Structure formats: C-alpha cells, structure tokens
Amino acid sequence: MNKRGVTVLTLSIMVAVMAILVATVIPIGSNMHIGAQKAKLQAEIDQIEILTVNYIKRNSGNDFEVYEWDISSIIDFDEKQFEGEIITSNKINVYVVDLTKIDAEEVNYGLLEAGEKDRYLYSEQTGHVYYEKGKKLGSKMYYRVPELEE
C-alpha cells in the first residue's frame, strides 16, 4: 500500500467522474441557454403582435404593405409554427409590420439590419406575427415559438 500519494487507479477514477460530470452539465447549460433565447424571441414577437393589433384597432384598419411570403425556401419546415395559416402554393398572405407606425421600442430583431428579410410579418388570418428571417436556436429555425404558447 502506497501511503505517500494518490494511486494511478484513484486518479483514473477521479478523472472519469469529472468527465461524466462535465458531459452532463454542458448539455443542460446549453439547453437552458436555448430556452432563454426562445423565450426572448417569443416575448418580442408577443410585444409586436400586441402593438400591431392595437395599431389596427386605433386606425380602424390595416395600412401595412401587403406581402406574399414564399415559405418554400424554409428548411426544416415546422407546420406547428404556421398552424392555422392558409398556405397556397407554399405562400402565405401577410403584411409587413412597420415598427415606426406601431411605436415599437427596443426591439432586437426586425430592424432591416440584416437585409430585407430582417422584418416582422403580420398574418390577418391568425393574428400571428412572424420573424421572416428566422432565428436558429439549437438545431431548429424559429419564425415564432409555438411551444411556449401552450
């Protein structure tokens, strides 16, 4: 018996335990981060929906630009995100939300900074707002986050 230090066997067991702990903690932390990002995106979409509906009520109608959103290029199409929409030939009729008209303040997305698809779209059919560019969170692309609504 070696009383002067740690044996190779003890050291190997400690390294194995640490590896197992790290392997379980990293995915948990990553999932928590993705969940927080989903909540942030959906909170902003909810805010835009409320502001858009209020704008339409105040102005007795919708004066936003009509837009035919072609969703055929959407990779990993998730029908749940577009539930209730009338999709004709892979297109949804929506309106481009003008953030200045609805007095949206402090938004993170939809600012047209990343091109013309970096904007919010409003569906009169469902009352939903979508982020046209989409946000990749984990392995999925989100245009809205329907699972947080349940």
Asked if the structure places residue 138 within a domain, the reply is yes
Asked if the structure places residue 2 within a domain, the reply is no
Q: pTM for the complete prediction?
A: 0.74
Structural domain count, the chain:
1
Structure tokens at 29: 């932390």
Return the pLDDT at 55.
92
Asked if the structure places residue 79 within a domain, the reply is yes
| Residue 66 domain boundaries | 8-148
pLDDT for 25 beyond 80: no
Phi, psi values for residue 94, rounded to 5° = -140, 180
- Give alpha helix (H) positions in 59-117: none
Asked if the structure places residue 33 within a domain, the reply is yes
Dump pLDDT digits (tens) for 114-124: 567 788 999 99
pLDDT for 150 beyond 60: no
Asked if the structure places residue 1 within a domain, the reply is no
Asked if the structure places residue 114 within a domain, the reply is yes
pLDDT for 1 beyond 60: no
CB 97 within 8 A of CB 86: no
Asked if the structure places residue 42 within a domain, the reply is yes
Asked if the structure places residue 31 within a domain, the reply is yes
Phi, psi values for residue 112, rounded to 5° = 60, 15
